[in-house]
Amino acid sequence: MRFLSARIGPDQRPLEKLNSFRQEVTMLQRLAYVFLIVISICYVESPLALMAQSKGEGQRLFNEARQLEQKDKTKAGQKKAVQQYEEALKAIRKEANLKLEAVTLNNLGFIYQALGDNSNALRSFENSLEIARKTGNTKQEGRGLNGLSGVYRLQGEYQKAVDNAKKALDIGAKEGNIPVEAAAFNVLGLVYSDTKKYQMALDYFEKYLELAKKSNNAYQERLGYNNIGAAFSHLGEYQKAVDNYQKALELARKQGDPRQESLILDNIGLSYLRLGQYEKALEFHNNALATSRRAGAREFEGLALDHIGRVNAALKQYEQAARFYQEALAIDKQVGNLLAERDTLNDMGNLYKQWGEQPKAQQYFDQAREITRKLESGKSKGKP
């Protein structure tokens, strides 16, 4: 999370508040990164190129699955795409089309990863990697390694994440495969950000952005600016963070992606909050809220509401803050976003602590800690 001063206004923040702020941007980044990394690695195969090699039932079902995936980015829509991909996979295997099978498994892996189903994501990437090595397809091997790296990172198995990303990086550099090389740089940046080695993270994100510009990939460029902004924020350089977020925001708007626009607006708002510029912070968080609602992105709506509550708390408008936190908490529970729910509970605990209602505050802190235990259960962490 970002390195912060111990103040967000006149009052000293308690430890729970600092922890909540540290967890917040990590959560924001994970949401953004999981969706955007798909652009980096998953869709490098042209549908027309694949169709030239295979015109059977498997290809038809694959195309339908891909259309479903791109048309509806909601959780329900992505689950429908998974079902269609699984049907396609059966036909593809009957036709013994190993190349299309590997691509399908990769696509499934990234969707499972976005849905938080790491076990199925891991299985899909491992199967794709096995096919790639069997057929000598180094390009596909690089994609599979990057996919594995991303899952290991989300599971907290950082050394495995680094090992696989570096293998992918070697393949990308050797083969001149910019998408594979770029994705490896991005995953490495995320791992070092997670493990609080923010300068190293920044170095990798800058390399990622350089390759994105070199390949004229505006989607990857947007991700690069967003990640560099997050790294600068971690380093306490909030104005540099804002400058990079603004570049990402401009690209998101050009690309007509309101979901990512909402997320980036929220990131800008958080930076202004840390700078103590509360009016600007409210402006960007309110814009994020309106944009998330327009996009039907309920999980991002919950984040924006929580952050509006934080600004109100910093301004000592406690009743308004409590109202926004309650709205955020209801959405967090509805969409099953445990990370967001935990942070909102921490925020509510801090709010009631400031009001002098320690028993009620402790109830919220206890609920937040219970969620943390659930999230950490079974997670094996290793530092690179």
Q: Based on the number of CB atoms within 10 Å of its own CB, is 76 exposed (0-12), middle (13-18) or buried (19 or more)?
A: exposed
Distance CA 65, CA 368 (A): 38
Domains 1-35+226-376 and 42-196 share a fold: yes
pLDDT at res. 231: 97
Long-range contacts of 202-211 (CB under 8 A, 24+ apart): 202/228, 202/231, 202/232, 202/235, 205/231, 208/182, 211/178, 211/181, 211/182, 211/185
Distance CA 170, CA 154 (A): 22
What's the mean pLDDT in 225-246? 97
Q: Percent of the chain scored above 90 by pLDDT?
A: 75
Report the CATH superfamily, name and number, of domain 1-35+226-376. Tetratricopeptide repeat domain (1.25.40.10)
Q: Which residue has the tokens 């080695």?
A: 197
The reported pTM is 0.79
What's the mean pLDDT in 91-106? 94
Model pLDDT for residues 113-131, shown as the tens digit of each residue: 988 899 999 999 999 999 9
For the chain, the domains span 1-35+226-376, 42-196
Distance CA 318, CA 302 (A): 18
> Is pLDDT above 50 for 260?
yes
CATH of domain 42-196: 1.25.40.10
